[in-house]
């Protein structure tokens, strides 16, 4: 299994404790960003299993909040679904093995939104698509965000709009399915829940 040992019971991974016995593992595709793997083995029932899944180096997702309390969103063309998608700045760590998640988060904020921030607040690590992937994502709230420089995007990062909305409007975009990226939707709802639970600062 691909879960870190720390998420199991001591040094034993949950799959091992449950009796999943992996007999063979092969890599079907290997890229700088992720690996497609096929595992074959035996279940505790003695039934055989075959599992094909993605091993991802991980990513970051940034919830950028301006000094006025507004959220920065990007309208991004996404080739796999052939749609324009409203999103948060996000990116992969696979091709940046020498950087920590916070460094990647700051880089993605600058590259995609042309922005800097005063502080990054970690919201923790969550996994995407756990039925088909081992894909950890580190979520951050970026406080004091200012769009103050030209973006430096990759050739496939087609972003035609960078806009600010209230957090309430961002939540409405999720609930009304105007924002359909699950990673971004989760980041918005998580940040909204945490920020609304805090005492309001006096103006």
Fold that domain 59-196 belongs to in CATH: Nucleoside Triphosphate Pyrophosphohydrolase (3.90.79)
- Domains of the chain, by residue range, sit at 5-56, 59-196
| pLDDT at res. 96 | 85
Cα gap 188→174, rounded to integer Å: 8
Cα gap 69→67, rounded to integer Å: 5
* Residues forming a β-bridge with 87: 74
* Chain mean position to CA 178: 19
Closest CA to 167 of 141, 137, 136: 141
| pLDDT at res. 3 | 42
Residue 87 CB coordination number (10 Å): 21
**pLDDT tens, per residue, the chain with 203 residues:** 334 444 544 566 799 899 999 999 999 999 988 999 999 999 999 999 999 999 999 999 999 999 999 999 999 999 999 999 999 999 999 888 889 999 999 999 999 999 999 999 999 999 999 999 999 999 999 999 999 999 999 999 999 999 999 999 999 999 999 999 999 999 999 999 999 998 866 54
- Token reading at 75: 């309208």
Q: By the 8 A CB rule, do 62 and 48 touch?
A: no
Q: By the 8 A CB rule, do 34 and 57 touch?
A: yes
Q: What are phi and psi of 189, to 5 degrees?
A: -65, -35
| pLDDT at res. 198 | 83
Length of the chain (residues): 203
| pLDDT at res. 199 | 82
Q: Write down the pTM of the prediction.
A: 0.90
| pLDDT at res. 6 | 44
| pLDDT at res. 2 | 38
Q: By the 8 A CB rule, do 135 and 56 touch?
A: yes
| Tens digits of residue pLDDT in 148-176 | 999 999 999 999 999 999 999 999 999 99
């Amino acid at each position: 299994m691909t879960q870190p040992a720390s998420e199991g019971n001591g040094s034993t991974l949950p799959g091992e404790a449950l009796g999943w016995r992996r007999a063979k593992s092969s890599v079907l595709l290997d890229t700088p960003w992720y690996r497609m793997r096929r595992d074959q083995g035996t279940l505790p029932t003695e039934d055989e299993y075959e599992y094909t899944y993605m091993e991802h180096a991980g990513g970051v997702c940034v919830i950028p909040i301006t000094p006025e309390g507004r959220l920065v969103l990007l309208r991004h063309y996404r080739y796999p679904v052939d749609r324009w998608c409203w999103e948060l700045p996000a990116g992969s760590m696979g091709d940046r093995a020498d950087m920590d998640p916070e460094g990647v988060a700051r880089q993605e904020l600058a590259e995609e939104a042309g922005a800097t921030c005063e502080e990054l607040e970690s919201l923790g690590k969550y996994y995407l698509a756990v039925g088909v992937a081992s894909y950890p994502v580190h979520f951050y709230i970026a406080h004091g965000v200012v769009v103050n420089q030209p973006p430096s995007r990759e050739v496939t990062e087609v972003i035609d709009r960078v806009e600010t909305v209230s957090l309430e409007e961002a939540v409405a975009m999720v609930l009304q399915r105007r924002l359909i990226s699950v990673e971004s939707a989760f980041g918005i709802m998580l940040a909204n829940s945490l920020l609304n639970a805090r005492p309001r600062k006096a103006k």
